[in-house]
Amino acid sequence: MRISIAQDYRTVLIFMEVCLVKAKTNAVPHALGSRSGAEKNRLMKWLISIRKNWMVYTLILPGFLWYIIFAYGPIGGLTLAFKTYKASLGIWGSPWVGFENYVYVFRDPAFVASIVRTLQINLGRMLVTFPVPIILALLFNEIRSRKFKRITQTILTFPNFLSWVIISSVVITLLAYDGPVNHLIKSMSGAGFNFLGNEKVFIPLLYLTEIWKSSGWFTIIYLAAISGIDQDQYEAAEIDGASRAQSIFRITMPNIMPTIVIMLILTMGNLMTAGFDQIFNMSNAAVRQVSETLDMYIYRITFQAPPEFSFSMAIALLRSVVNMMLLLLADRGAKLMGGDGLLG
C-alpha cells in the first residue's frame, strides 16, 4: 500500500514537471512575439507622429544633421591621441603608441603650468563675473520705467553680438600706449601707463571685458526666470508689510535659484575651455607668462611650433574628460544641496 502511494506521488510530481516545462517552452515564443509586437506598435506610432508633425521634424533636421556631421562625426579622430600621426598614412593608418603621448604631456612643465593658470583664471572669472548678471536682473526687475529699462538692456546686450576680434580691437585701441586713455593720463600726470603689457593688469582686464560683453545676455536669462514668478507672492508680501529688499531675498531669489544652479553647473563644465577667443585676441608676448592657458598651449604646440597633432589631440581629449568630470561633480553638488541638478 505504501509502495503504491509513493509511486502515485512520484507520478504526480513527474506530471507536474512535464506540464511546467511545456508551459515555459510555450511562454518563450509568446513573450518574444508580444515583445516584437510591442516594438512594431512603437515604431508605427513613431512613424505616424513623424507623418503628422513633418513640418516640425523638417525644422529639426538641419540641426540634427549639423550635430551628426560636425559633432559626432569627428569623434573617430580622437584615436589620434593614442597614435603617432603620419601625414602619409592618415589618421587611420598612423601607428598606435598607446599612452605614450600622455607620458610626454605630463613631463612637460609648460603643460602643468597651463592647467594651473587655466583654473586660476577661470575660477576667478566665475567668482567675479557670475554674480553680475544676477544683480543686473534684480535691478532691472525693480525699474518701473519701461522705456529706460529697454534702452539700458539694449545697451548692455549689444556687445554680446560682437565677436571677440571686434571687442579686443576696441580695447586695444583705447588702452594702447598712444591711445586716448593714455593721452588723458599723460595730460594729467605726464606719464603714460602700459595697460596691455602689464601682467598685473591683464587678468583684471579679462574679467572687465567679459562682464562688458556677456553680462547683458545672461541678464536676459535671469529676467526670463523672474518673469515666471507668480505675482500673487509679491502682492501677499506687500500686504504683510515686506520691503522690496525682503521681497528680493525671500521671493525672487528662491524662485530663480534653479536657474542659477543650472547656469553655475554649465559654467563649471567649461572651466577648462572658457575664454580662448578672448585671451587669444587680447594677449601678446609681454603677458605670455600669465596668459598661456591650456587652450593657448594647445594652439602653440599645434600651429606655432613644429606640428604635433597627436600630442595636441591627447591634451584636448584630457581637457574634455576633465570638463566632464567637473560638470558631473557640480551636478552632484547641486543635488546634495537640495537642487534638481542638470542631469535629472
pLDDT one digit per residue (tens) for the chain, 344 residues:
433 444 444 444 444 444 444 444 444 444 445 556 677 788 888 888 888 888 888 888 999 899 898 888 888 788 888 888 887 787 788 888 888 888 888 888 888 888 889 888 988 998 999 999 999 999 988 888 888 888 988 898 999 998 999 999 999 999 888 888 888 888 887 777 888 888 888 999 999 999 999 998 999 999 999 988 888 888 888 888 888 888 888 888 888 888 888 888 888 888 888 788 899 898 888 888 888 888 888 888 877 667 777 888 888 888 888 888 888 887 787 777 666 666 65
d(CA 141, CA 253): 12
* Rg over CA atoms, the chain: 31
Is 334 buried (19+), middle (13-18) or exposed (0-12) by CB count in 10 A?
buried
**328 three-class SS:** helix
**Alpha-helical regions (H) of the chain:** 2-52, 54-66, 90-93, 100-107, 109-129, 131-142, 146-157, 164-175, 180-189, 199-227, 231-239, 244-247, 253-268, 276-282, 288-291, 294-299, 309-336
CA 25 to chain centre: 51
Residue 198's contacts (CB-CB under 8 Å, 6 or more residues apart) are: 286, 287
b vs e for 77-93, b when ≥16 Cβ sit within 10 Å of the residue's Cβ?
eeebbbbbbeeeeebee
**83 three-class SS:** strand
Contact 195, 201 (CB under 8 A): yes
Whole-number pLDDT of residue 82: 87
250 residue type, one letter: R
Q: What is the DSSP letter of 242?
A: -
d(CA 242, CA 231): 14
Whole-number pLDDT of residue 213: 92
Is 114 buried (19+), middle (13-18) or exposed (0-12) by CB count in 10 A?
buried
Total length of the chain: 344
d(CA 63, CA 69): 10
Closest of 70, 77, 102 to residue 85, by C-alpha = 77
Is 170 buried (19+), middle (13-18) or exposed (0-12) by CB count in 10 A?
middle
Whole-number pLDDT of residue 65: 92
Whole-model pTM: value is 0.74
Contact 137, 219 (CB under 8 A): yes
Whole-number pLDDT of residue 3: 39
CA torsion 83-85-86-92 (nearest 10°) is 60
Whole-number pLDDT of residue 40: 75
Looking from the CA of 255 toward its CB, the CA atoms found within 13 Å total 19
Contact 186, 192 (CB under 8 A): yes
- What residues does 96 pair with on adjacent strands? 83
Is 176 buried (19+), middle (13-18) or exposed (0-12) by CB count in 10 A?
middle
d(CA 323, CA 269): 5
Place of cell 594651473: 116
